[in-house]
Amino acid sequence: MKAIISASELASDLAGPRPPTLLDVRWQLTTAAGSTPFDGRAAYAAGHIPGAVFVDLDADLADPPGPAGRHPLPDTDRFGTAMRAAGVSSDRPVVVYDGGPGWAAARAWWLLRWTGHPDVRVLDGGLAAWEGPLASGTEEPAPGDFRPVAGALRVLDADGAAELARTGVLLDARAGERYRGEVEPIDPVGGHIPGAVSAPTTENLTETGHFRPAAELAERFKALGVTEGTEVGVYCGSGVSAAQEVLALTLAGVPAALYAGSWSEWSSNGSRPVAVGPDPQ
């Protein structure tokens, strides 16, 4: 099964006899002090792909912030309730989109795959790639029947991430300046997990915001040390943009684990080591 779908393929599927359940997961990371947080629900109501149902990343795709990070994995029962309310059923394909660069959509994709949904894809290029009409207001889907069972994909905890950085390849999906510790707009300290390799998610996409071809992604990750048989994990700030990196690795044919707590969990514990600068160590 392909993990992404083009806008033209989506338009065709929506017009077909078995249209997918469509989820709008627009979300943006707010870092500037005093800035107004992005309102994904308002953006959805102003214009969305017809039939799409809004899913709130902070409320539906994560538990409240705490020691496990800013976006801990959601309680499975609560996640299932949110997905059924959005119309998600086990026997119906799901397509997820956001406003770019695929972070939030990939988080929803990863969670649905992790909890056992067999057919989930991300709209390549996000809403900007959609050339059809938009609908305003909200949608009222028929309730779905999806019952999540966690464990279909591999998850790392802090100890597992530290171990993988020594024995395999642990990719840091954040911007390079955050990896190097030059800036840290959100978390208590800047830097990276010792041994982790810088791999910003921006390099998974073309200038148009679409995922690079699978062969290009495979070459990119090979240059970062991912070779056949290598165990791979990914983290970011709070387990959101890292899901986009896991998706890119999937397109390249590389299975990867997600460190869901990511840097927001790692850096909250002052006893954990921190590396700075361009060198992994």
Tokens of 150: 């966690």
72, 123, 244 from 8: Cα distances, Å: 34, 10, 21
* Identity of residue 1: M
Whole-number Å distance between alpha carbons of 99 and 118: 24
Non-local (6+) Cβ contacts of 132 within 8 A are 7, 11, 49, 50
Sign, Cα dihedral of 164, 212, 104, 29: positive
Start-to-end Cα distance in the chain: 37
H or E stretch at 94: strand 94-97
Measure the CA–CA gap between 87 and 215, rounded to whole angstroms.
35
Query: Catalytic residue at 250?
Result: no
Structure tokens at 33: 């002090």
State whether the Cα torsion 113-175-221-4 is positive or negative: positive
Q: Which residues pair with 156 in a beta bridge?
A: 259
Which among 95, 119, 81 has a CA at the least distance from the CA of 5? 95
Q: Which of 3, 123, 232, 236 is catalytic?
A: 236
Residues annotated as part of the active site: 236
